A and B are shown apart, each in its own frame.
Chain A
Amino acid sequence: MKNIFLKIALFISTTISCVQLNAQQERGKLFISILGGYTTASGNFTKTEYTNIAAGYAAKSGLNIQLHSGLFVSKNLAIGLVLGSRFFQTTGLQSLSDGYLDDFDVDSTTVTLSGDYINMNYLVGPTYTFPLGKLSVDVHVLAGLSTLRTPEMRVDLEDNAAATFYQRVSTGNGLGIQAGVGARYFFSEKVGVELRVDYFTATPNVIIQNENRTNNAGRFLNTYKQQIGGIGASLGISLAL
Chain B
Amino acid sequence: MKKHNFIIRSLASIILISNLFIAGCKKEEQVVSPPLPGNEFLTTVKLVLVNTANNDTVIAFWRDLTPEDSNPADTSLAVLNLKENSTYKATVYLLDETKTPAEDITEEIKERANYHQLFYFPSSNLGANLLVNVTDSDTNSPPLPLGITSNFITSSAASGKVNVILKHQPNVKNGTFAPGSTDIDVNFQVNISN
Give residues in A with beta carbon < 8 Å to B.
8, 11-12, 15-16, 19-20, 23, 30, 32, 34, 36, 63, 65-67, 83, 85, 87, 89-90, 93-94, 96-98, 100-102, 104-116, 118, 120, 149, 157-158, 160, 162-163, 165, 212-218, 239, 241
Contacts and interface: CB of A to CB of B under 8 A. Distances in A.
13 contacts: A34-B15, A85-B18, A96-B31, A97-B31, A105-B115, A111-B31, A113-B29, A115-B26, A157-B171, A160-B172, A214-B174, A215-B114, A216-B141
A89 B27 contact: yes
B173 interface: yes
B28 A114 contact: yes
B128 interface: no
Interface string B1-41: 10011011101101110110011001111111111100000
Given A16-B5, A105-B112, A105-B170, A93 B11 contact: no
Q: Is the interface of A mostly helix, strand, loop or mixed?
A: mixed
B153 to A, nearest CB: 29
Given A97-B31, A115-B27, A239-B7, A67 B15 contact: yes
What are the 8 A-B residue pairs with the smallest beta carbon separation, nearest first? A104-B170, A101-B33, A163-B171, A97-B33, A67-B15, A107-B35, A112-B30, A215-B114
Contacts of A113: 28-30
A162 B4 CA distance: 57
Given A16-B5, A217-B115, A100 B12 contact: no
A97 B27 contact: no
B168 interface: yes
Contacts of B172: 160, 162-163, 214-215
B188 to A, nearest CB: 25
A25 to B, nearest CB: 12
B139 interface: yes
B114 A65 contact: no
Contact of A212 (B34, B139, B141, B171): B171
B32 A109 contact: yes
Given A100-B33, A107-B34, A113-B29, 18 more contacts: A12-B8, A19-B5, A32-B7, A65-B22, A66-B15, A87-B23, A94-B33, A101-B33, A106-B170, A112-B30, A116-B22, A160-B172, A215-B114, A215-B172, A216-B139, A218-B171, A239-B7, A241-B7
A112 B29 contact: yes
Given A85-B22, A239-B11, A93 B171 contact: no
B140 interface: yes
Given A19-B4, A67-B12, A115-B26, A157 B170 contact: yes
Given A157-B171, A213-B171, A215-B115, A65 B31 contact: no
